[in-house]
Amino acid sequence: MYADRSDKWHHTMARYLGLSPDTSFLFGILPGVCREAIGRYDHMYTKRECFNSNKTYAWSQHHYNKINNGRFSNQTAYYGTCPFLWELGRIASSTERMPSPEGSLFFLPRDDQVTIREDEFESVQQVIDSAPRPITFFLPWRNCDIWKNWDKLKLPAGSKFIQMSDAVTRQFILSRAFLEHEHIYVPWPGTDVYYAGFLDKIVHVYDKLEQYRTKTRDEMDREKTMVIHYLKWGYDWLTDDQKTFFDWTREWGNIDKPVRNYLTIQMLGLDALKSPEELFEDLMCHGFLEDTQRFVHNPEYQRSYEWLQSSLEKIHGQTLHDHPHISLL
């Protein structure tokens, strides 16, 4: 009856809706801006096996449409806002005094369950050596996502290091890290580019698409399943449309600001932003919550919503959606 618990978003979803952290949800939650489903048919998140549920909370507009309109989909998607933004707004709107942004938040290269990066590390070292100080390095919390050659890198003395191993505080830590840094370094044009775009950070995508490939069977840490088969984003698996889109967004700073604003709003579901109570009631209306569940007001997340709404209003009138690459989604 209940969906598999999201290791990224379960606690954030429960907090925003005023529910207990022990809540079980009827729906799964998309993990991010799912690059494996950009520019091609979604064979993964349209299947019940993905979250052990036929309901999915989607927070990118194009992905919501793919799930609901997929020829072979057995899922019903609800379109909402990216849960990370609720924690970001909570930190940004708190009475705690935040330091002025400085230095760099550096996401190290990563492998994952099906995709692996090449062994070469010298190019990453060059980027680290030139990145503005101080630097905070981010290492994935899942072992399968940790790039096997990261320990060959020489990290500057005095650098901070975060891994976010605790699921309860995971998004608090990431939100604070984004807010505290001016430059965001990422190896691939994925979800973090849009987080940085919303905050108007300086984005650096430092790896090339060609540096990633699909793992061989012997390199995989878990048995291949129907769902895992499609969790791929190595260069050898990408379609021509995917290569075009990701090569374009790799050069984030070269995209016109109104187009970046439009992409950020669509990718993070900001056009579906609702207050905690509004979201609770709408999910209930769509059959995504149980009748026995009751909303509990949390003033911190109401302030988060108001901060997000105010931030959105600043860019809402400064968007363009006429770039041809947007249609590749």
pLDDT score recorded for residue 223: 61
- 220 & 134 share domain: yes
Q: What is the CATH number of the domain that holds 154?
A: 3.40.50
Positions of the chain with pLDDT lower than 70, given as ranges: 222-227
Token digits for 243?
């290569």
Cα separation, 201 vs 265, whole angstroms:
15
Q: Is the pTM of this model over 0.85?
A: yes
163 is a domain residue: yes
What domain range is 297 assigned to?
10-87+261-328
The 10s digit of each residue's pLDDT in 194-251 is 999 999 999 999 999 999 999 988 888 766 666 678 888 999 999 999 999 999 999 9
DSSP state of 302: H
Closest among 102, 240, 295 to 184, alpha carbons compared: 102
- Digit-coded pLDDT (tens) for 150-187: 999 999 999 999 998 899 999 999 999 999 999 999 99
Is residue 103 domain-shared with residue 162, that is, in the same domain? yes
Residues 132 and 17 in one domain: no
Pair 82, 159 in one domain: no
Q: Is 102 a member of any domain? A: yes
| Residue 316 pLDDT | 79
Q: What is the pLDDT of residue 112?
A: 87
What's the token pair of residue 174?
A: 């990431």
As a three-state string, the secondary structure of 175-236 is HHHHHHCCEEEECCCCHHHHHHHHCCCEEEECCCHHHEEECCHHHCCCCCCCCHHHCCCCCC
